[in-house]
Amino acid sequence: MDQIKIFAPASVANVSCGFDVLGFCLDPVGDEMLIRKTNASGVKITKIEGQNLPLDVKKNVAGVAAEALLKAHPTQSGFEIEIHKKIKAGSGIGSSAASAAGAVFGINELLGKPYTAHELIAFAMEGEGLASGSAHADNVAPVLMGGITLVRSINPVDVIQLPTPKALTAVILHPKIELKTMHAREIIKKNVTMEKAIQQWGNLGAFVSALFNEDYDLMSRSLKDEIVEPMRSLLIPEFESLKKASIDAGALGFGISGSGPSVYALTKGIDSAQKISNAINKVISSIGIDFEIHISKINEQGIKILTN
């Protein structure tokens, strides 16, 4: 096999109670990537469509991740990467993670799969480090492993796949303003009170238990973020009204997707997701910002191979 075309999906990180550790993979939104094995050595990014991003391998998350893999697994072959971006950079739904994870997934396939999805996380994370100033795996892990993941540790990488309750459905609102992850990380205060920390690990543990037991009421009680959301929500227009509208329309929880500006709601079933989508559409339409809304099941597969 000399080339592979893949769909590298968007993802939601943090999921309110799990800053930097929880994430889930989305279905309808994602980039397409074409990766070719060549005779020349090294990595080349030959084309990027849809976004104005650097072709320079050292300045592009896909290039950095690809080089990290090839450093660990030297080979005579080279690789060309073509990226068709559908996920906007700075949207909060894992644009850089899709590119970084897609690059290492594709190269790994063309090399005959020397690495497992779990092992690829460390390479993809290096790309994330370039994009956000510090490596984190809460977007790349669900993209590579599929479903909902919990990052117990990044050094060494230890990621646990959590169960996906069948009816769990996400609604994503992407207000079209750009928020750079690097900036959204800088504004977070570095200290947390013991009281807030206790609330957060109580909620995180409860959410994990709720996934195992398909306990939607417990999910609803635990999808809370008392630490990061109060700081970052100030950067998102109408955050509190959107949250109220979603919860009133039946959302189990509502919060910032990754570092924003996208926001997410989780709910049980497509009908409820449609009601939430209508409710947030009404709120966001009233302020005159361009936006997109996606309804998505949790993508349990992660990256998909389109053609070889």
By C-beta, is 90 or 146 nearer to ligand HSE? 90
128 carries an active-site annotation: yes
Helices 270-285, 239-248: inter-axial angle, 10-degree rounding: 150
Angle, vertex CA 6, rays to CA 36 and CA 274, nearest 5? 160
For the bound state, the minimum distance from the C-beta of residue 162 to ligand HSE, rounded and expressed in Å, comes to: 16
By C-beta, is 87 or 249 nearer to ligand HSE? 87
Q: Determine contact, residues 72/114, Cβ cutoff 8 Å.
A: no
Q: What phi and psi, each to the nearest 5 degrees, are found at residue 56?
A: -60, 120
By C-beta, is 19 or 24 nearer to ligand HSE? 19
Element (H, E) at 173: strand 168-175
For the bound state, the minimum distance from the C-beta of residue 20 to ligand HSE, rounded and expressed in Å, comes to: 4
User: Which of 146-160 are b and which e, b meaning 16 or more Cβ less than 10 Å from the residue's Cβ?
Assistant: bbbbbbeebeebebe
For the bound state, the minimum distance from the C-beta of residue 292 to ligand HSE, rounded and expressed in Å, comes to: 18
By C-beta, is 85 or 136 nearer to ligand HSE? 136
Secondary structure tally for the chain: helices H, strands E: 10, 11
Query: 274: helix, coil or strand?
Result: helix
By C-beta, is 79 or 207 nearer to ligand HSE? 207
Residues in touch with ligand HSE (CB under 6 A): 13-14, 19-20, 136, 138-139, 181, 184-185, 258-259
Instruction: Return the C-alpha torsion angle 237, 255, 277, 92, nearest 10.
Output: 70
Pairing of strands 78-84, 22-38: antiparallel
For the bound state, the minimum distance from the C-beta of residue 261 to ligand HSE, rounded and expressed in Å, comes to: 12
Catalytic, out of 128, 149, 229, 238: 128
- Tokens 């030297």 correspond to what residue? 74
Task: Round to whole Å and give the CA distance between 176 and 228.
Answer: 21
For the bound state, the minimum distance from the C-beta of residue 174 to ligand HSE, rounded and expressed in Å, comes to: 14
When CB distances to ligand HSE are compared, the closest residue is 258
Just list the catalytic residues. 128, 181
